[in-house]
Amino acid sequence: MGRESKSLLTGLGRYTVCGANIQIIGGVSGAPGKGKRIYYYECSYHHNRGPTVCSNDHKERMDAFDDAVLETELKRINCELDALIAVVVKGKPPPGGGRDRGPGDPD
């Protein structure tokens, strides 16, 4: 039985350095038995495949990071909404997607 984590970043976040998903690792801080459980975000490539695959050993405290990320994500989503609205209002989708046919294509 797996318990879904309520963390913000998994599924949403991805390290731009290596493209790996962000995973959560847990740890306990403080004396055994009295410790408080702390979770960290960490690169799953680094954690599972080792530093030869990804040297990013950076960890972020989950509780502190969620606040910061939530704020940036909200801003980013707002920006994307603005851009989307601009496209819809102007009725002009971004260019691209033209397909070429080779001159020697058989019919």
Residues interacting with Zn ion, by CB under 5 A?
15, 18, 20, 43, 45-46, 54, 56
State the minimum distance, in angstroms, from the CB of residue 50 to Zn ion: 11
Distance CA 88, CA 27 (A): 47
Cβ proximity to Zn ion, 8 vs 18, nearer residue? 18
* Among candidate residues 41, 47, 51, 44, the one with its CA nearest the CA of residue 19: 44
State the minimum distance, in angstroms, from the CB of residue 15 to Zn ion: 5
Instruction: Give the pair of three-digit tokens for residue 107.
Output: 């019919």
Q: Which amino acid is at 35?
A: G
Tokens 């009295």 belong to: 34
Cβ proximity to Zn ion, 16 vs 29, nearer residue? 16
State the minimum distance, in angstroms, from the CB of residue 40 to Zn ion: 14
